[in-house]
Structure formats: C-alpha cells, structure tokens
C-alpha cells in the first residue's frame, strides 16, 4: 500500500539547539489542508499499479502550488515519468512531504538496473533549492542510485524514515549538500554511505545527525567543519583493520575544529584490530588532537581490544543477511525506535492520527 500526502502552502516553528535556525515547513498541515486539497485521483490518476501517476501529480501540484495539499490516497501507483515540481517562485519554500499513515513508500526497483551492472540510475527523491521543509514518515526502497539527495536546500528536517538499498557501494541513503538541515531518526540499511554531508559553504555547524554517519568530504581548502559532536555510537563494523570505524579527514588548508567524539564504542565483527584515522582534525576524543594551534597532521591509531562500554545491542528489525542486488527488496515498516532503547523525537504520523 502506498499513501502519501504532499503539502505546500501558506507560521514559525521550533529552533533546535545545534542548528543555526528554525527548520521545517512554516505553515501547519491543517492550515494548508483547510486552504485547498488537490487529490491526484481528480487529475487522471488511477491506483492500479499500472497507470503513470506522474502527470496527475504534476497537474495536482500546479493547482495547489500557491497553497494547499497534494493528496495521494491509499493505493499502489506506478511512476513512469519523473515528476518535477516547481513552485511559482524560482524555488520552493514551506514544503512538507510525508505519509499520514507512515506506510507510504517509494519502491525504486533498483535491482532491475543493478542486475545488469548499472549503478548510475536515478535518485528516488531529490530536493533542490528548497527552504523551510520537512520529509518524514516515508520509506524509500531499492533506488537505482542514491535514495534521497538534498542540494542547495536550507532549514529542513528529515525524520522517521526507513531507507533500504541494495548490497553494493554507491547506493547511498541520504546525500546532503545544504545548510541548516536536521536529520534524525532515520533507519538506513545499505552498503554505501548512510548519510553523507558534502562540501558547501557551512559557516556554522549546520547539519546534525543522530544515529547516522556524518562523512565530511572536503576538497582543497574551501570548506571548514567545526563544532560537531559524535556521541553514543555503539555497534560493530565488519573489518576494522581494513576500514576502521573512525576516520576524520579534514583539509590541511581548513582544519576541522571543536570536534567531539565521546561515548564511542564500536568493535570488529571479525579480526582483533581496528584503526582510528585523524587528519588535520582538532577537538577531543579518539585520535583528534586537542591543541590551540591547528597545524596539519595525520595520524592512525591501532586499537587492539574492544573499547570500554562496547556493546552491540540488537533490534527487532535487524536483518540476518543483506539484500543482494539482483532481486526485489521488500518495503520495510518504519520503526518506532531507531536505536536500542531510544524514543524518537516525535511519534510516527500514523500513530498520531487514525484518519488518512
């Protein structure tokens, strides 16, 4: 079953500690839905898992883009044409994409591409130049390439999502190249990056993830990352000698500062050694250097016993084996906890309201 509602519209929200400003849509869902509802079934769509829903979404969007809800009722829809939604202005603001039942999913059937050796297909979802938005309560499954990318966006929140990809590198979960984005409570199962933050001007600490990986990618000396805390990472990595659990690699021309790695206890699934690598990164914890002067350096620390506090708690939805790349990947239920013993910041949308 697929159901998702899409909202754009016409109000100011929470500021979060580690962000540089408010995130999320600026108008409530109810205000938008009281304003106008554009149901894709009124624009030629049929929930028969055959008729292309793309043109109907575009038409519904055009009718509601000045404010309202684009509504996709419960059912299975096929998407054949890629849907590009452009607001009246050059960019979109005040946008919310979510499944009100938390059961909505986009199945990318990426295995059809991967089985033929291609890893360069489409992304399932891309937001570009969108500000004041949220994406939540959706599952994204088996993307031909990346599952979700955000570029040149700002003031966004991404949460309560499940992302499942094929068992290959390059099939990333969430790629972020944006400002002031809060990503939390997202389950990613894949073999590429889970959440990756790419180079863009980030003058302030602007991206925070919980229970995900932040992998700063820095070229030249144009980008500086600072004031990032990594806390309470517990679990295992498959081969810590070959690919250790900590690698903080910053540009010599722009060393990272004020980093903190604490309560970190990961250990190998096989072997008896793991490495921590730090490159021009300053702060406290692991191999970070705690100095006022920020000269270039590179260090690799070999760790030969499990860190104190190490545990690898399991969760009900843990998988016993990876998905391959040549058969369909089932749509997961969005979990109600994304880390052992941790309650998400917000309940699933499907638990908050019983009506679609």
- Of the candidate residues 21, 48, 49, 118, the single one contacting ligand NAG (CB under 6 A): 49
Q: How far is the CB of 271 from ligand NAG (least distance, A)?
A: 36
Query: Residue 309 corresponds to which tokens in the numbers above?
Result: 């506090």
d(CA 329, CA 322): 10
Contacts (CB under 6 A) with ligand NAG, residues 53-92: 76
Length of the chain, in residues: 356
Q: How far is the CB of 175 from ligand NAG (least distance, A)?
A: 24
The secondary element (H helix, E strand) that includes residue 350 is helix 349-352
Does the protein bind ligand NAG through residue 227 (CB under 6 A)? yes
Residue with smaller CB distance to ligand NAG, 59 or 227: 227
Residue with smaller CB distance to ligand NAG, 15 or 302: 15
The DSSP secondary structure of 302-348, one letter per residue, reads: EE-SPPTT------TT--SS---SSS--PPPPPPS-SBTTB--SS--
Number of residues that bind ligand NAG (CB under 6 A): 7
Q: How far is the CB of 77 from ligand NAG (least distance, A)?
A: 9
Residue with smaller CB distance to ligand NAG, 18 or 22: 18
Rounded to whole angstroms, what are the CA distances from 124 to 13, 108, 147? 28, 7, 5
Residue with smaller CB distance to ligand NAG, 61 or 77: 77
Q: How far is the CB of 202 from ligand NAG (least distance, A)?
A: 12
Residue with smaller CB distance to ligand NAG, 112 or 129: 112
Residue with smaller CB distance to ligand NAG, 18 or 168: 18
Write the CB contacts of 275 (distance below 8 Å, at least 6 apart in sequence).
Answer: 240, 241, 244, 300, 301, 302, 303
Going through the chain in order, the beta strands assigned E by DSSP cover 2-8, 37-39, 48-52, 68-78, 92-98, 104-107, 125-128, 130-136, 138-141, 148-164, 174-189, 195-197, 207-209, 229-237, 246-249, 256-268, 274-279, 281-284, 298-303
Contacts (CB under 6 A) with ligand NAG, residues 130-169: none
Does the protein bind ligand NAG through residue 346 (CB under 6 A)? no
Q: How far is the CB of 53 from ligand NAG (least distance, A)?
A: 12
Rounded to whole angstroms, what are the CA distances from 78 to 46, 97, 300, 327? 9, 18, 49, 19
Contacts (CB under 6 A) with ligand NAG, residues 168-207: 205
d(CA 273, CA 258): 28
Closest CA to 187 of 336, 351, 23: 336
Residue with smaller CB distance to ligand NAG, 109 or 310: 109
Do residues 95 and 8 lie in contact, with contact meaning Cβ atoms separated by under 8 Å?
yes
Q: How far is the CB of 163 from ligand NAG (least distance, A)?
A: 19
Does the protein bind ligand NAG through residue 258 (CB under 6 A)? yes
Residue with smaller CB distance to ligand NAG, 85 or 261: 261
Residue with smaller CB distance to ligand NAG, 65 or 114: 114
Cα within 13 Å of Cα(85), Cβ side: 25
Binding mask 314-343 for ligand NAG (x = CB under 6 A): ------------------------------
> Which residues of the shown chain bind ligand NAG in the complex (CB under 6 A)?
17-18, 49, 76, 205, 227, 258
């Amino acid at each position: 079953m697929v159901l998702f509602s899409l909202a754009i519209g016409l109000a100011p929200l929470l500021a979060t500690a580690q962000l540089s400003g408010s995130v999320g849509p600026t108008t409530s869902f109810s205000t938008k839905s009281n304003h106008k509802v554009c149901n894709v079934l009124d624009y030629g769509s049929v929930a028969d898992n055959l008729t292309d829903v793309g043109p109907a979404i575009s038409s519904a969007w055009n009718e509601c883009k000045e404010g309202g809800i684009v509504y996709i009722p419960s059912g299975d829809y096929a998407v054949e044409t890629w849907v590009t939604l452009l607001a009246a202005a050059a960019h979109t603001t005040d946008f919310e994409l979510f499944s009100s039942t938390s059961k909505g999913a986009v199945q990318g059937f990426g295995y059809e591409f991967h089985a033929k050796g291609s890893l360069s297909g489409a992304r399932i979802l891309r937001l570009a130049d969108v500000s004041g938005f949220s994406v939540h309560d959706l599952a994204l499954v088996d993307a031909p390439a990346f599952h979700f990318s955000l570029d040149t966006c700002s003031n966004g929140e991404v949460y309560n999502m499940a992302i499942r990809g094929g068992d290959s590198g390059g099939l990333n979960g969430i790629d972020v190249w944006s400002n002031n984005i809060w990503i939390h409570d997202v389950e990613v199962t894949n073999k590429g990056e889970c959440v990756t933050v790419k180079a863009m001007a980030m003058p302030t600490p602007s991206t925070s993830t919980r229970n995900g990986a932040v992998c700063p990618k820095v070229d030249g000396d144009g980008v500086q990352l600072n004031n990032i805390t990594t806390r309470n990472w517990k679990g295992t990595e498959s081969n810590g000698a070959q690919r250790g659990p900590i690698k903080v690699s910053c540009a010599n021309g722009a060393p990272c500062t004020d980093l903190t790695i604490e309560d970190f206890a990961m250990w190998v699934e096989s072997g008896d050694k793991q490495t921590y690598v730090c490159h021009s990164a300053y702060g406290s914890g692991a191999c970070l250097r705690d100095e006022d002067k920020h000269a270039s350096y590179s260090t690799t620390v070999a760790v030969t016993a499990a860190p104190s506090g190490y545990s690898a708690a399991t969760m009900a939805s843990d998988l016993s084996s990876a998905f391959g790349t040549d058969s369909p990947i089932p749509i997961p239920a969005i979990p109600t906890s994304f880390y052992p013993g941790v309650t998400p910041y917000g309940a699933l949308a499907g638990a908050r309201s019983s009506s679609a």
